Structure 1
Amino acid sequence: MGDAEEHVIAAAYHVVKALEATKNLNFSNDVRRLLADLDAHLSTMTTVGENEVEKTRDIENRLRSSQEKITGLHSNHLRIWNSSPAIVSEYLQAVDEVRRLIETLESYPSKKTWKQRDLLDRAQCTLQIAMTRLQDELVHILAQSKQHFEQEYMFYPTCEENSVYEESVVSNGGDSVQEDMSQRESSSTETEEYVMDLVHPDVIPKIASIANIMFASHYDHEFCQAFVRFWRDELAKHMMILNVEQFSVEDVLKMEWKCLNSRIRKWRRAIKNVVGIYLASEKRLFDQVLGEYGTISSTSLVEASKVSLLCLLNFGHAVAIGPHRPERLYCLLDMYEVLASLISDVESLFPEEAGRSIRIEFHDLLRRLGDSAKAIFMEFGNHIASRASRTPFANGGIHPLTKYVVNYILCLVEYGDTLNLLLAEKDGVNLDMGSNENIGQTTISCPVAVHLQSVTSILEANLDINSNLYINTSLKYIFVMNNIHYMYDKIKNSEVRRYFGDEWIREHIAKYRRHAMSYERFTWNSILSLIRIRDDGKTGKATLKERCRDFSIVFEDVYKIQTAWYVPNLELREELRISISQRLIPAYRNFVGNITNSIGEKYLKYTVHDLESYILDLLDNSQKSLKHPG
């Protein structure tokens, strides 16, 4: 009821009273009844007005008291929540009193008195000041009580510390892959779930009390704004500690491999830490503070984390669209596996509609990484086929391409399950292993096995082409034998054997032995023909002398040439020497006997013992020459 209305009612009431008191006026009974009814109605309205005035006066007194408490506490305490619990309680009660007074004043009819409007403005202004102070108090509490990550939470051991996709492993050379693989196996075990307190547990009730009063006062947006901003900034600082930098797609595509490799390691560590530890801890805190307010907790978590998460995801997208070079396969698979292991965490962190865009981004990056890894894996055979040599590899040893391909394959065994899933997804293959009896057969026919066997076939074809560069046919056989034996030996003694099977192993044993036999026949059969003498005694002395001279010349040439050749595998080298001795020594011993009996041993340059000793020098990558006696 407005002030003017109150004055009109009061005036009318006095007029009616005056009319009723006048004796000289002759009113009809109807008029007198009307005046009586009007008297009663105006009396009631006057009483109501007096009650409203009393209520307004009470509100004014209560508001004044609360204002004085709030203003006094603001002036006397730099930080209210650093004071005693009694002070905090007094402050919250005063703020809540103002909130309730506002609700009371707002419940009045739209036509409020001037006094009521003034009180409402004063109360809202006081509440606004209190809410601003509460925001400051909230940020101070968070800053003062935040917990710093312990070292083990920041850098818990993961496979990136011993990654197998170092440039040295997939480069042209090096046999360190087995050691690297064992390191990866020992360090790539699943880490337990870590959730830590982002703030000291004792302050959560304080934060909740601020949230309660601000939400009740309809300042929920302001609370969430301050709360989210603080944790968004903290996550950004955490990313800096993890050495995460923001790069554009162009920056990533131009990055040198060594630098990119390092950045990918940091990315893997960071995304596991951020999603698996930091955001899991953040979600728990948000639920503790905002859980009772419906979806606000999940919405706030999205707002606090999306900038940093998108920074991580954008880097992943840039890597995924990079060139399909073989050395990138391992980093893509590592990134894929890390991301795949975090998908369930992401679904738990962002289950609501507000987090849908983040979930979509994670799944999209996972798909892109998988597609890129598949493409590189499937194109690897073409990469090998295109690596044609123009000159023969020195001394018939292990060609760098062979080491490169074999080490590449050995590294892939750790990613076999992942690659099978990716390839099966592409080809629609059912990877159900079935019964135990069929597991071996299923493994050697799975997509990864089929492709790896194809890769080795392409490598062998490449080796055959490279072997034709040798002028010396014997060295050609040594070269192919060495490389096939290297391939067989590395695969036989590794986990990757399950993708090749026993039949492949047997075939390649036969292959390298076949080339070894070809080497022996081509090299030594012509020499053996020089020292084979008919037992009928019809060979002339001149012929025998010529045979002695020719054998010495040919053997010396073979010795000089083949001591420089190289069979790196000690066991294979010994097998060849033994086989050569078994061919040559008995025949030479018989030749020595015939020569001694026919023309005397003075025409023999070398004894049987000499030959046995010289054979031990062959294929050792150390060229030597025989010194002619006397």
Structure 2
Amino acid sequence: MVDNAPVVAVAADGQETVTRNSLKPLEEMDNLTDEMFNIITELEAHYSDMTLLEGKRISDIKERVHRLEEKVLIWDSDQPMISDRDSEEMAKFLQAVDEVRQLIEHLGNLQSSDKHGEQIELLNCSHSIMQMAMSRLEEELVHLLVKYRQPVEPDNTSFRSAEEEIVHDYSSSSFDEESIDGKIQSDTDRDSEDFVIDLIHPSAISSLKSIVELMLLSNYDKECCQAYISVRKDALDECLAVLGMEKLGIEEILRMDWNVLSSMIKRWNRAMKVFIRVYLVSEKHLCDLILGNITRSETDNCFVESSRNSIMQLLNFGEAVAIGPPKPEKLFRMLDMYECLNDLLGDVEALFLEEYGSGILTECHEVLLRLSESVRGSFMKFKYAIQSNTSTTPFAGGRVHPLTKYVMNYIKALADYGKTLDLLLEDLDEKGPISVADDGGTDTSVHSSPVAWHLLSVTSILESNLEVRSMLYQDGSLQNFFMMNNIYYMVQKVKDSDLQNFLGDEWIRAHKRKFRQHATSYERASWSSVLSFLKDEGICSRGSSTPSTTVLKERFKSFNAAFEEVYRIQTGWFIPDVQLRDELRISISLKVLQAYRTFLGRYSAHLDGIRHRDKYIKYFPDDLERYLLDLFEGSPKSLQYPYWR
């Protein structure tokens, strides 16, 4: 009989109870009835059975803990990755770890007052085993994420990176270039960019999800997320490297040669679209796929933390470029960057929810603001560069000036950014009406969109600059020739581009009148003196109706000299536009040949029989017609004597 066998106690309310503390030996209970004795005997037997059962259960748990410890320790850190073996090995390990988890849960559910020293020891041992198992699972998670990472070559997406083109420096000191490197044309359309690719090979997804789920159930979600973030952060950095975006400091970017930086900006525009619409969309999908059993907030946080460094690297590049000094050559690249980021803003907002991605969204808006300021500043620098570009030397041959080519090609390229410029140039200046009428036309004031107003103001500034330059020529005919060439060039650029939509038909009509007026003034200044020798006035001596031979000789001789001088000079002048060149030649030919034929027909017979007649009548009309075709070719020639004589 055990010393502490249960006895019946009578409570204050008269009820009989059996308590462990009131148990006494049966021999000390002489006053027990037979019924009470039987009850006590049964309770004593039951208590003895419970003690034996508890001892057996503790023994079983010890054995179970020992068995699980062996299964976990066999895969210590010196062993190769479990996932590199067959899937059955991984399944066994995961099952063993899950048993440890369940055992801890079971031991933990026991009331603290019921826990024996052995139970506490088993619980601590189980926790130790779990820590080792979680450490191993974390290694397996990292290993799988790295091993099954899919190569992220551009050819795997819709991204096609063309060879970087050489970009010229179109600064205010580079007005000798005609071509302008304008808007970046998209390599892909919007729909083809936006899709999901497998960043992790599909064969590894099931194992990854199992590991994550077990770590989550074991309350190791923090460690799980940290490991995931670390690996995927490096993976996204690799994506940027594949897209050609190296890590550069702000100072490096600001010191960079413009040609190199311009190429990098082109690369940045392409990289931004692919990185956000392909890689980040795919990264978000992967994060949801693997970490989907974690709470929504934790999953979003993992994605944000994984991608924060890479997206901030791209945004920091944009900000570094934008804070550089505004220059005319930067305007197109700034517009490209602004349009690119503004177009992607909706995608960024969808990926980075405000709760966790607010910092990234704020930075996007900040970069957009800086880019808009850079656009406005660069545009004003462009205007100032036109105004301040002066010279003391006339441009040879009255050609189209490089400034005209640069400015017109510049604003022609700007027309592609019309909608964006309307937004960014609003209220840049105090805008008023701009007159587009020529000197002989009606003064028409134009009120239009911000970009149209500014483009009109640019052409007005350019014309004023050209007028000042034309005065550098001492020859009045060359002044008009120069203005005719340049205004005609401006008109053609507007007619053949989207500039027509901004400057309007009235601008074109007014400037057509302008270059025709300059053409007429040129002809008058160049050929009036030549044709003056073919007039009838003064041919006959006073009081006589017979032409004076002496006067005729002098007239023909003077005409020849004047024609040859104009020929010598104006073959060196140049009209680049074939149509304008032909039209001016025809106009001159009609006037010169008609006057020469008439004069020759009337007076050539009066020189018949004189000595050296060929010295005076050197040219036939057909000769002059051929010679006039040599004008405006930009290659000076001389007429010594008709080649066939």
> Cα offset for 1:397?
0.5
2:573 paired with 1:560: no
- Listed one character per residue, the Cα deviations across residues 116-144 of structure 1 (whole Å, up to 9, x for unaligned) are 22111110110011011111111221222
On the 8 A contact 1:16/1:35 being kept in 2, the answer is no
> Cα offset for 1:65?
2.6
Q: How does 1:144-543 map to 2 (within 5 A)?
A: 144-153=147-156, 156-157=159-160, 166-167=168-169, 171-176=174-179, 187=187, 189-190=189-190, 191-293=192-294, 294-424=296-426, 445-534=448-537, 537=545, 540-543=548-551
On the 8 A contact 1:397/1:566 being kept in 2, the answer is yes
Amino acid aligned to 1:604: I
Query: How far, CA to CA, are the matches of 1:225 and 1:568 in structure 2?
Result: 67
Query: How far, CA to CA, are the matches of 1:391 and 1:284 in structure 2?
Result: 65
2:613 paired with 1:604: no
Amino acid aligned to 1:274: F
On the 8 A contact 1:385/1:458 being kept in 2, the answer is yes
Query: How far, CA to CA, are the matches of 1:38 and 1:56 in structure 2?
Result: 27
Amino acid aligned to 1:259: V
Query: How far, CA to CA, are the matches of 2:461 and 2:4 in structure 1?
Result: 107
Q: How does 1:578-597 map to 2 (within 5 A)?
A: 578-597=586-605
**Which piece of structure 1 moves more, 529-538 or 225-234?**
529-538
> Cα offset for 1:390?
2.0
Amino acid aligned to 2:579: E
**Which piece of structure 1 moves more, 167-176 or 339-348?**
167-176
Corresponding residue number in structure 2 for 1:437: none
Corresponding residue number in structure 2 for 1:617: 630
2:124 paired with 1:129: no
CA distance 1:15–1:301, shift in 2 (3 Å): closer
> Cα offset for 1:593?
2.4
Query: How far, CA to CA, are the matches of 1:314 and 1:323 in structure 2?
Result: 16
**Which piece of structure 1 moves more, 567-576 or 140-149?**
140-149
Amino acid aligned to 1:128: Q
CA distance 1:185–1:276, shift in 2 (3 Å): closer
Query: How far, CA to CA, are the matches of 1:9 and 1:97 in structure 2?
Result: 38
Amino acid aligned to 1:618: L
Backbone CA RMSD of aligned residues: 3.5
> Cα offset for 1:447?
1.5
TM-score (norm 1): 0.87
**What's the secondary structure of 2:324's corresponding residue?**
coil
Query: How far, CA to CA, are the matches of 2:48 and 2:153 in structure 1?
Result: 72
**What's the secondary structure of 1:566's corresponding residue?**
coil
On the 8 A contact 1:444/1:501 being kept in 2, the answer is no
Amino acid aligned to 2:569: I
Corresponding residue number in structure 2 for 1:22: 28
> Cα offset for 1:95?
0.8
- Listed one character per residue, the Cα deviations across residues 314-370 of structure 1 (whole Å, up to 9, x for unaligned) are 111010011111110111111112212221221121115111111111122122212
- Listed one character per residue, the Cα deviations across residues 407-457 of structure 1 (whole Å, up to 9, x for unaligned) are 11121122222222323497999xxxxxxxxxxxxx982221111111111
**What's the secondary structure of 1:292's corresponding residue?**
coil
**Which piece of structure 1 moves more, 112-121 or 186-195?**
186-195
- Listed one character per residue, the Cα deviations across residues 147-190 of structure 1 (whole Å, up to 9, x for unaligned) are 112442367237x768796437994345555xx77x96584643
Query: How far, CA to CA, are the matches of 1:9 and 1:574 in structure 2?
Result: 130
Identical amino acids, percent of aligned pairs: 41
> Cα offset for 1:502?
1.4
**Which piece of structure 1 moves more, 514-523 or 144-153?**
144-153
TM-score (norm 2): 0.85
On the 8 A contact 1:336/1:366 being kept in 2, the answer is yes
Query: How far, CA to CA, are the matches of 2:20 and 2:297 in structure 1?
Result: 60
Q: How does 1:78-93 map to 2 (within 5 A)?
A: 78-93=80-95
CA distance 1:285–1:113, shift in 2 (3 Å): same
CA distance 1:92–1:612, shift in 2 (3 Å): same
**Which piece of structure 1 moves more, 317-326 or 293-302?**
293-302
Query: How far, CA to CA, are the matches of 2:357 and 2:146 in structure 1?
Result: 26
**Which piece of structure 1 moves more, 406-415 or 149-158?**
149-158
CA distance 1:483–1:224, shift in 2 (3 Å): same
Query: How far, CA to CA, are the matches of 1:188 and 1:143 in structure 2?
Result: 30
On the 8 A contact 2:154/2:242 being kept in 1, the answer is no
Query: How far, CA to CA, are the matches of 2:489 and 2:206 in structure 1?
Result: 67
**Which piece of structure 1 moves more, 318-327 or 101-110?**
101-110
On the 8 A contact 1:295/1:352 being kept in 2, the answer is no
Query: How far, CA to CA, are the matches of 1:150 and 1:318 in structure 2?
Result: 27
**What's the secondary structure of 1:81's corresponding residue?**
helix
Amino acid aligned to 2:140: E
Query: How far, CA to CA, are the matches of 2:337 and 2:160 in structure 1?
Result: 16
On the 8 A contact 1:162/1:184 being kept in 2, the answer is no
Q: What are structure 1's unaligned runs of at least 5 residues?
A: 1-6, 430-442
**What's the secondary structure of 2:151's corresponding residue?**
coil
> Cα offset for 1:15?
8.9
Corresponding residue number in structure 2 for 1:435: none
Query: How far, CA to CA, are the matches of 2:78 and 2:385 in structure 1?
Result: 76
On the 8 A contact 2:399/2:486 being kept in 1, the answer is yes
**Which piece of structure 1 moves more, 462-471 or 603-612?**
603-612
**What's the secondary structure of 1:243's corresponding residue?**
coil
On the 8 A contact 2:3/2:24 being kept in 1, the answer is no
> Cα offset for 1:496?
2.4
2:573 paired with 1:572: no
On the 8 A contact 2:338/2:368 being kept in 1, the answer is yes
CA distance 1:567–1:169, shift in 2 (3 Å): farther
**What's the secondary structure of 1:520's corresponding residue?**
helix
CA distance 1:328–1:155, shift in 2 (3 Å): farther
Query: How far, CA to CA, are the matches of 2:425 and 2:88 in structure 1?
Result: 66
> Cα offset for 1:17?
5.0
**What's the secondary structure of 2:375's corresponding residue?**
helix
Query: How far, CA to CA, are the matches of 1:480 and 1:531 in structure 2?
Result: 29
**Which piece of structure 1 moves more, 128-137 or 260-269?**
260-269
Query: How far, CA to CA, are the matches of 1:85 and 1:94 in structure 2?
Result: 14
> Cα offset for 1:23?
6.6
Query: How far, CA to CA, are the matches of 1:39 and 1:464 in structure 2?
Result: 127
On the 8 A contact 1:9/1:45 being kept in 2, the answer is no
Q: What are structure 2's unaligned runs of at least 5 residues?
A: 8-18, 432-445
Corresponding residue number in structure 2 for 1:433: none
- What is the aligned residue count? 603
On the 8 A contact 2:477/2:526 being kept in 1, the answer is yes
CA distance 1:587–1:162, shift in 2 (3 Å): farther
CA distance 1:569–1:76, shift in 2 (3 Å): closer
Query: How far, CA to CA, are the matches of 2:88 and 2:5 in structure 1?
Result: 48
> Cα offset for 1:565?
0.8
> Cα offset for 1:41?
10
Amino acid aligned to 2:593: I
CA distance 1:220–1:428, shift in 2 (3 Å): farther
> Cα offset for 1:462?
0.4
On the 8 A contact 1:16/1:39 being kept in 2, the answer is no
| Structure with a larger share of its residues in helix | 1
CA distance 1:187–1:93, shift in 2 (3 Å): closer
